[in-house]
Amino acid sequence: VYLPPAALVPDAPALPFVLMMMGQPGDPDAGPIASVLDAFAAAHNGLAPIVLVADQLGDPDVDSLCLDTAEYGRVETYLEEDVLTWARGNLNIEAGRESWTVAGFSNGGQCALSLALRYPEVWGSLIDASGTVYAGLETEPEVLADVFGGDQAAYDATKPATLLGRSRYPDTTAVFTVGSEDSVMEPGLKDLSGTARAAGVAVTYYEVPGEGHSFEALGGGLTEAFGVLASRLGLG
């Protein structure tokens, strides 16, 4: 959990909420987003969102797909029910989707995007930092066989591009960021940001200059994203 200075004073105000997820392999490390929000808070009278960094993986070497599956367990339910129930009961956060942001880096970016599209009534804003364009991209043949039993249509139905093609998201704000030198993630994420814009999402697309798939790209992306979202979150 990251608490900004405004959360640590007597009679602290309720603050916007961010659910953050990191990459794979990886762990739920609040350090990268904390360093960005410390700088944000310093420029905003101590105000910044409260962040809960959740573990969407379990095993850091396994891509859980951010879905409920027989193969990897009820990951989607864990994030949208267990984690959020804990957050509401234990953190001094504002209610309402306009104050709630789901964010992630790499594997976590894909997870954040998928949750934002499947639960638009919960998440008003999204930060997808260097995210993969759909779950299981790097091991697609194995995922198709082992998780979806070879059912391509069932697999495709879970992909963000499919969800964006089926629904419109007129009150969702999304910031897609990626390193300008990230030749693996940049093409797909840029295309996906355009697909999101066509589905009514208020999209900002930003490339972090000179960075690849790195924590520096994450830091630069988060800095840009919170600058974009500050007014929407009531922190402008």
4-51: per-residue pLDDT in tens? Answer: 999 999 999 999 999 999 999 989 999 999 999 999 999 999 999 999
Q: Taking residues 98-112, what's their average pLDDT?
A: 97
Whether residue 102 is predicted with pLDDT greater than 90 in this model: the reply is yes
132-143: per-residue pLDDT in tens? Answer: 999 988 889 999
Q: Taking residues 149-178, what's their average pLDDT?
A: 96
pLDDT at 211: 97
Report residue 161 as tokens.
Answer: 């591009």
Domain ranges of the chain: 5-229
Separation in Å, CA 17 to CA 57, 88, 138, 222 = 21, 10, 31, 15
Whether residue 236 is predicted with pLDDT greater than 80 in this model: the reply is no
What burial class does residue 205 get, using C-beta atoms within 10 Å of its C-beta: 0-12 exposed, 13-18 middle, 19+ buried?
middle
Confidence band, pLDDT 50/70/90 cuts, at residue 84 = very high
Q: Reduced to 3 states, what is the DSSP secondary structure of residue 107?
A: helix
Report residue 128 as tokens.
Answer: 């997808």
Report residue 174 as tokens.
Answer: 């999304």
23 CB contacts (<8 Å, ≥6 apart)?
Answer: 105, 106, 107, 108
Whether residue 210 is predicted with pLDDT greater than 80 in this model: the reply is yes
Which CATH class, in words, describes the domain spanning 5-229? alpha beta
Q: Could you give the CA distance from residue 42 to residue 48 in angstroms, rounded to a whole number? A: 9
Q: Taking residues 178-192, what's their average pLDDT?
A: 97
44-76: per-residue pLDDT in tens? Answer: 999 999 999 999 999 998 899 999 999 999 999
The model carries a pTM of 0.96
